[in-house]
Chain A
Amino acid sequence: MPGPAPDERMRPSGRRNTQGIRIDPEAEATHEPRMAVLSALVKHEPGVLSEVSSLFSRRQFNIESLTVGPTQDGDTARMTIVIEEPEPGVQQAKKQLRKLIPVIDVEELESAAMRRELALIKVAGDKPDDVQAVAEMYGGDAVDASKDAVTVEITGSKQKIDAAIEAFEQFDVLEIVRTGAAALERGSKTMDSTTMESDN
């Protein structure tokens, strides 16, 4: 005794979007990607970077930059991960990061957080004075000069570095290397103390 055919069955009225979010017909739920700066305190041990980076690659998070370095405590390192994802993706990235065993804590930094990256820009050496002048405009320095090339160091926000690189394009840019962002929350708040609080 077969029941009603597919087109004769009881049907719900709602629907969800591709992120599994129930759609309010009056306010279609859409999530534009946004930039999020995640700061992760991790154990300073071999394989951590690989564990974090492979998490991001196998879950297909759109990663903008990832930097890592030791903290004041020799046993921990801090990673700054900038991702561009819709809201559910940002939340998922944080939760997946927290699941990794060597990860001590993960926080998303506020947009006002200090974000700095460093760039080394190597340009042709025929106008060293002009290069130095442009570098100074961006608070940078020439850190190496030869008869063929000058290398300039710039530190600052992503926007500042972008602008500096654009300015250097008037010279012949030979090579650029950028570190990606390192970021810290403003004020006295620190991640270590947050961790302590949440433990209590």
Chain B
Amino acid sequence: MSERASIPKRDPEEAPERENGIEAVESGSEAIIAALEQAGVEHAFGVQGGAIMPVYDALYDSSIHHITMAHEQGAAHAADAYGLVTGEPGLAMATSGPGATNLITGLADAAMDSDPMIALTGQVATDFVGNDAFQETDTTGITLPVTKANYFADHSDTVGDDVSEAFALAREGRQGPTLVDLPKDITKGETDQWPKPPETPETHDEPSEADESAVEAAAATLSAADRPVILAGGGVVKSEASDELRAFAREYEIPVITTMPGLGTFPETDDLSLGMAGMHGTGAANMAVTNCDVLLGVGTRFDDRLTGGVDTFAPDASVIHVDIDPAEISKNIEADHPLIGDATRVLEQFDEAMDTAPDADQWREQCQTWTEEYPLDYETPDDEPLKPQYVVETFDELADDDAIVTTGVGQHQMWAAQFWTYEYPRTWVSSNGLGTMGYGVPSAIGAKIGAPDTEVVAFDGDGSFLMTIQELSVAVRENLDITYVVLNNEAIGMVRQWQDGFYEGRRMASEYPWVPEFDKLAEAFGARGFRLEEPEDVEETIQAAREYDGPAVIDAIIDPAENVFPMVPSGGDNGLFALNEQHLEMI
């Protein structure tokens, strides 16, 4: 464990004085930067390149702090995580061609999780567009399916307006990623047009309040329920509706389950909390969602990882669906009571409309029984080899209450979702919908930049970590105090688990015969490296990594035989979750 390489720590007190930003514009690029500053953008994640150079040149005099990422995918994930943690769109910048195409995964990821994000891409000059010029791609064409909206800037006078509008759209209503493609002649071109303020276009009409009579009908249904359940999704985070949700659930004593993006919207320490539902959700949450008679879904899109097979999803339940996006209503699960509007406002309306709390003592008792019958648990024979769940649990005990957890994708992600206790919204930062391996390293960077005073812990797997490990160089350069924990089982563990369960153990391409020593690799990047093998060293190692002021990587060599349970097989029945391999064979 050598000390970090010779990169000096950045003392915020000694940070160079920044200019106050752009005061008048002379070019398209300056209009772009003015639009960003006007919208309140403080940080940008990006990679330089030929076609985006004029924009970067304007950034030189800006108040915006630019973080140079190792790869554009890293920029997109960092911006996505920044957007999730702060609620304001994260900014990713890339050049044309390969720079833009490298953003695609991150844009798709943000789109699936409705995270606010804006991407600016360079483009070849308009004279060359369509001619297969050097580093040209049809960026707006390619990104159309993975953005909420995108723009091809066609005039220096209006490019600032395009950026303002894209920013506003990313943040408003159902949030999501937007993109502005910036031809080089447009960004270099002269203009004195100050960008308009960030406002969404007229055709964009987001409902805020649900129809009053619909709310009353839904409230009557919920009041009359015998077996009510609230299902809180990522929309609760985005709408800042967590307080309203807590107050509502407690007042009417309704058990609460969350989706994976909804982790933290309701405190998992509360008696009414049944934890996360879905493929790797808790037994209690899945029993409750399966057997409920009224389901109040708030800000959830009923993703298949949550519902399992739709035929067996809450089949007895009247579904009350609160969502800001009308297109989510009855897309996957038919809503008996669609309530279209902003979650915070609709929960307030709902509260006003409720006459009585549902008479559900017996149901709450039943839910409590399930919590006791199906605790999240793991076997620890002699505590060896090291159990990943134990590492997550121990870290949770040591970490600050409001620590932010970011993850890659795979088994480690599920253990981090299951064995960490989430209390607050915006503390779970993960690739929920797209399931992007490699999300962990850059998302922790975005989260830490967005919440510099909050502890950030990144759980990753060896496979996922290797996909974006180069971004460690950025964490070191920016001296970000992040603790990375690699739950290392020398495999693409989730695939191996499926191969063992559903492909007769034919472990095609899922096992890594050799992975790098991540502690040493961390040191090579200039971070602090720790190797963790023995259960008795867990606490001490985590504390040492936490205390290190800068990025630290714990290479935790875990039991390769450990699998993620409970589990509902893909498209299965949530009520028939398996607690172990024997159960899998039964269902």
Contacts and interface: CB of A to CB of B under 8 A. Distances in A.
B334 A99 contact: no
A98 to B, nearest CB: 7
B287 A99 contact: no
Interface string A1-39: 111111101111111111111100000000000000000
A32 B40 CA distance: 51
Interface stretch (B59-67, B249-257, B323-331): B323-331
A138 B580 CA distance: 71
A191 B325 CA distance: 23
Those 10 A-B pairs whose CB atoms lie nearest each other, nearest first: A3-B373, A14-B315, A95-B327, A20-B333, A6-B576, A12-B316, A21-B334, A20-B310, A14-B316, A101-B149
A35 to B, nearest CB: 20
Interface of B: 140-141, 144-145, 149, 152, 169, 201, 203-204, 283, 287, 290-291, 302, 307, 310-317, 319, 325-327, 329-334, 336, 366, 370, 372-375, 575-580, 583, 586-587
A116 interface: no
B312 A20 contact: no
Contact of A9 (B203, B287, B311, B332): B287
B141 A50 contact: yes
A6 B374 CA distance: 12
B327 A104 contact: no
Given A3-B370, A9-B576, A96-B327, A47 B140 contact: yes
A191 B204 CA distance: 18
A1 B315 CA distance: 28
13 contacts: A1-B373, A6-B586, A6-B587, A15-B315, A17-B311, A18-B311, A20-B334, A21-B334, A22-B336, A43-B203, A47-B140, A50-B141, A95-B329
B331 A13 contact: no
A179 interface: no
Interface centre among A22, A47, A51, A104 (most CB of B within 10 A): A22
Place the interface of chain A in its size category: 35 or more
Contact of B302 (A9, A20, A43): A20
B575 A9 contact: yes
Contacts of B144: 50-51, 54
Given A9-B287, A11-B575, A3 B374 contact: yes
Of A3, A21, A43, most B-chain CB atoms within 10 Å: A3
B204 A20 contact: no
A47 B143 CA distance: 13
B201 A19 contact: no
Given A2-B373, A15-B315, A99-B325, 10 more contacts: A3-B579, A4-B373, A7-B586, A10-B291, A14-B315, A14-B316, A17-B310, A88-B330, A96-B327, A98-B327
B265 to A, nearest CB: 23
